[in-house]
């Protein structure tokens, strides 16, 4: 066991019996780790002597709420090229989704061609709505 492992085990808390015996062996060989263990042990056992017991001020809650609720919101700066390329990607994805729906409907309506013509404007509207929803969603998230 080296000193770094020793300190890591001590800092983690209660070691099991095997680790405790390894710690004891290392402390017998290493005066620095033995001193570190004593310092940690004394700090934990006598924490009341080191900590100052002081009541928080009456206006602490008000000052915390002022800090939290009146803080200036963080603004993100998104470059224009990122906005344009992602908006273009939203349009392309909207068209791909819409065209996929359009093609699936046209493949299913092979029996009646008049029915296909009646559905064509609805598919076009669906493609436009899908594209618009994706574009507006992107723009509202990146404003």
Q: Please give the tally of structural domains in the chain.
A: 2
Structural domain includes residue 72: no
Task: Express each pLDDT in 14-64 by its tens digit.
Answer: 778 888 888 889 889 999 988 988 888 888 777 777 777 778 788 888 888
Is the pTM higher than 0.75? The answer reads no
Residue 60 counted as domain residue: no
Q: Does residue 86 form part of some domain?
A: yes
Let me know if residue 59 belongs to a domain.
no
* Residue 88 DSSP code: H
Could you tell me if 86 and 136 lie in one domain?
Answer: yes
Q: 31 is in which domain, residue-wise?
A: 3-50
pLDDT in tens, 84-125: 888 888 888 878 887 777 677 666 555 554 444 445 556 667
- Residue 31 belongs to some domain of the structure: yes
Check residue 11 and give its pLDDT. 83
Pair 45, 88 in one domain: no
Dist CA 6 CA 36 (whole Å): 10
């Amino acid at each position: 066991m080296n000193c770094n492992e020793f300190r890591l085990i001590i800092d983690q808390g209660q070691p099991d019996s095997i680790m405790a015996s390894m710690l004891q062996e290392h402390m017998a060989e290493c005066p620095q780790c033995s001193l570190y263990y004593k310092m940690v042990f004394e700090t934990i056992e006598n924490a009341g002597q080191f900590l100052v017991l002081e009541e928080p001020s009456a206006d602490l809650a008000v000052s915390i709420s002022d800090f939290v609720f009146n803080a200036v919101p963080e603004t993100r700066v998104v470059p224009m090229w990122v906005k344009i390329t992602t908006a273009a990607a939203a349009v392309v994805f909207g068209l791909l989704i819409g065209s996929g729906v359009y093609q699936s409907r046209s493949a299913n309506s092979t029996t009646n061609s008049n029915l296909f013509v009646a559905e064509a404007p609805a598919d076009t509207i669906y493609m436009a709505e899908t594209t618009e929803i994706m574009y507006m969603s992107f723009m509202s998230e990146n404003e």
